[in-house]
Structure 1
Amino acid sequence: MSYLTLRHLHITAALLSVGLFMLRGGLALAGHNWRQVPTLRWLPHVNDTVLLSAAISLAWLSGQYPFQQHWLTAKVIALLAYIATGKLALQPELNTNRRACWLLAALACVAYILAVARTRSPWLGLA
């Protein structure tokens, strides 16, 4: 698979991942139990596996690796923060205010990841 094809696959999977997260978060905020929709339980895991596989393949093909490239290290750290905050946001026992705060925190992580990907700078080109 070519680098360009992998890059498009990665971008598409990333957009789908964020879209699915926002859908599940929005349904949870609205009081709907998205866990009763089978597709919303398994599709994010399949998509995130594709996303991670494409990311690893891109790193391998380009010779750019986390802890070697500062911007990739920043993306990995922000990804871990996104996973943690997203997991907290989707916990069923949360009240609406706490859920909304965790959802915003997770989406802030996504915004940072996108900005780092565009600028290839952990400081977003500001330093």
Structure 2
Amino acid sequence: MSYAALKMIHVTSVVISYMLFSLRGVWMMQGSAALQQRWVKITPHIVDTMLLTSAIALAIMIDQNPVNNAWLTAKVTGLLLYIGLGMMALRFGRTRKAKIFAWIAAQLVFFYIVLVALTKNPAVFPFTP
């Protein structure tokens, strides 16, 4: 598979994953029964598996290693935080307020991950004295 095709799969998976997460967050805030639909419970896992698989394949293809590349380490760390916040927002948050806070925080982490991916720089928000 070509780099361009693999990257297209990865980017498309990112967009779909984010859209599904956002939609599920809105439904969570509305208390919607739509969250209980079978496709809503299954589809994100399929998309996220494609996303992670394509990410690993891209890293291998361009010979990038999170241990040696700070920007990739930042993306992986951000991803773990995003997953944890997403779990709090959609499943394990004790209160509606905690779930909403976790959902908003996950959104911010997602945008950080995207900025790191675009700039290849983990310090996308440089501190200036």
> TM-score over 0.5 for the alignment?
yes
Corresponding residue of 1:126: 126
Specify the SS of the correspondent of 1:19: helix
Give distance in 2, aligned partners of 1:125 and 1:103. 21
Corresponding residue of 2:31: 31
- Structural mapping, 1:105-124, within 5 Å: 105-124=105-124
CA 1:76–1:60 in structure 2 vs 1: closer, same or farther (change >3 Å)?
same
Give distance in 2, aligned partners of 1:124 and 1:104. 19
Displacement of 1:99: 1.6
Query: What is the Cα-based RMSD across aligned positions, in Å?
Result: 1.5
Corresponding residue of 1:12: 12
CA-to-aligned-CA distance 1:74-97 (integer Å, 9 cap, x gap): 000000000000000002764332
State the identity as a percent.
37
Specify the SS of the correspondent of 1:67: coil
Q: Structure 2: which 5+ residue stretches go unaligned?
A: none
**Could you tell me whether the CA contact under 8 Å between 2:85 and 2:105 is conserved in 1?**
yes
Specify the SS of the correspondent of 1:64: coil
Partner AA of 1:44 in structure 2: P
Moved beyond 6 Å, runs of 4+: none
Displacement of 1:61: 0.6
